[in-house]
């Protein structure tokens, strides 16, 4: 009887170990990106913690987050505007780039609770001074933005993407980027960015569907 119990405990332990290993493999941060500076390390730690503690809400997957970082740093962005902050997850990916470029993020969120959580996350990551969070309806509030903007990221109400594009495009500098998330849910937007000769758009489908639009010089 005792032998059987012992064997059951060993088998259960092995099953738990296998499940944990499988989870670690699935976890998007089982092999987190490598930090070059203490500032990057602090932001990455907050990103990993947020993912682990489920403090994200409809946030970009890691693949898209890394794309936001790389693209933003590559264009040496000083001014980034994000429409749809949620709890600050994508904003922190932008901050990975902005700590290197010395730039600033202006981010828009309509939901008070998520906006409050996002500010807390920006503080925890040590980037609160790099971020201005504007609470309220971004369809009105984006009109407060000033040119030149280097990168815009649209990730709010999907039916509103074309309206956001119309309002922000004149503010984006030539050579700047307009990024949009979950583009399969925004066909009018896709039509708008693929039929305008002033723009060149590519699609990065490794995550949740990211369009990358260059405003030509």
Ligand X SMILES: C[S@@+](CC[C@H](N)C(=O)[O-])C[C@H]1O[C@@H](n2cnc3c(N)ncnc32)[C@H](O)[C@@H]1O
Residues that bind ligand X (CB under 6 A): 58-60, 84, 86, 89-90, 108-111, 114, 137-139, 155-157
Q: How far is the CB of 28 from ligand X (least distance, A)?
A: 13
Residue 21 or 143 with smaller CB distance to ligand X: 143
Is 61 buried (19+), middle (13-18) or exposed (0-12) by CB count in 10 A? middle
Residue 88 or 103 with smaller CB distance to ligand X: 88
Please, which residues bridge with residue 21 across strands?
A: none
What lies within 8 Å, CB to CB, of 212 at 6+ separation is 67, 71, 177, 179, 201, 202, 203, 204
Q: How far is the CB of 111 from ligand X (least distance, A)?
A: 4
Q: How far is the CB of 56 from ligand X (least distance, A)?
A: 6
User: What single-letter DSSP state applies at residue 104?
Assistant: E
Whether 80 and 104 have beta carbons less than 8 Å apart is answered as yes
Residue 114 or 215 with smaller CB distance to ligand X: 114
Element holding 113 (H helix, E strand): helix 112-124
Which of 121, 100, 123 is CA-nearest to residue 47?
Answer: 121
Residue 84 or 103 with smaller CB distance to ligand X: 84
Residue 140 or 200 with smaller CB distance to ligand X: 140
Residue 60 or 105 with smaller CB distance to ligand X: 60
Helix axes 187-194, 161-168, angle to 10 degrees: 40
In whole angstroms, give the CA distance from residue 166 to residue 109: 19
Which of 211, 209, 148, 156 is CA-nearest to residue 182?
Answer: 209
In whole angstroms, give the CA distance from residue 64 to residue 210: 7
């Amino acid at each position: 009887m005792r032998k059987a119990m012992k064997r059951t405990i060993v088998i259960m332990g092995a099953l738990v170990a296998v499940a944990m290993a499988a989870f670690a493999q699935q976890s998007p941060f089982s092999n987190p990106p490598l930090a070059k500076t203490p500032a990057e390390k602090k932001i990455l730690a907050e990103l990993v913690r947020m993912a682990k503690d489920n403090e994200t809400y409809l946030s970009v997957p890691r693949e898209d987050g890394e794309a936001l970082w790389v693209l933003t740093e590559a264009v040496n962005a000083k001014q980034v505007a994000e429409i749809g902050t949620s709890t600050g997850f994508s904003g922190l990916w932008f901050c990975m780039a902005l700590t290197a470029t010395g730039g600033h993020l202006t981010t828009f969120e309509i939901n008070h609770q998520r906006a409050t959580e996002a500010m807390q996350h920006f503080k925890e990551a040590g980037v609160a001074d790099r971020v201005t969070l504007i609470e309220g309806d971004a369809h009105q509030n984006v009109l407060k933005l000033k040119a030149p903007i280097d990168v815009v990221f649209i990730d709010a109400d999907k039916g509103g993407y074309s309206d956001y594009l119309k309002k922000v495009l004149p503010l984006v500098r030539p050579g700047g980027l307009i990024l949009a998330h979950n583009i399969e849910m925004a066909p009018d937007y896709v039509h708008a960015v693929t039929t305008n000769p002033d723009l060149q758009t590519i699609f990065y489908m490794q995550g949740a569907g990211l369009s990358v639009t260059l405003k030509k010089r």
